[in-house]
Amino acid sequence: DAGITQSPRHKVTETGTPVTLRCHQTENHRYMYWYRQDPGHGLRLIHYSYGVKDTDKGEVSDGYSVSRSKTEDFLLTLESATSSQTSVYFCAISQPGTQGEDEQFFGPGTRLTVL
């Protein structure tokens, strides 16, 4: 199994509070991703990183920011959590080949509830 951990695994917070989720990998993969999973939507990309300090937005980036100061860590921050951000968050990693042949491997997920 790919060495990906997420912390915390579960979190309950209140509307308006800041929240940071951490993804840590031991695979030295270049790419890291944050997805959210909601019923009926599958997984949707929030942000991704293609190297240290190199990040870009995904499909549902509003209300989220990310940072990657080290290869192994990718942080997702909700500056002011809202109830619509209640979801399961997955981190993924990949090490793409030259033509994009890059399956992504996923962490165990973080269940976030915003009250």
Query: Which class for 66: exposed (0-12), middle (13-18), buried (19 or more C-beta within 10 A)?
Result: buried
Binds another protein (CB under 8 A): choice among 60, 74, 104, 112: 104
Assess 110 for contact with another protein (CB under 8 A).
no
Task: Report the alpha-carbon distance of residue 3 to residue 22 in Å, rounded.
Answer: 14
Please tell me whether residue 53 binds another protein under the rule CB under 8 A.
no
Q: How many residues does the chain have?
A: 115
Q: Interaction with another protein in 58-97: which residues (CB under 8 A)?
A: 58, 88, 90, 92, 94, 96-97
34 contributes a contact to another protein by CB under 8 A: no
- Cα distances (Å, whole numbers) of residue 37 to 23, 27, 87, 91, 112: 16, 24, 6, 11, 11
- Site residues (vs another protein, CB under 8 A): 30-31, 33, 40-45, 48, 50, 58, 88, 90, 92, 94, 96-106, 108-109
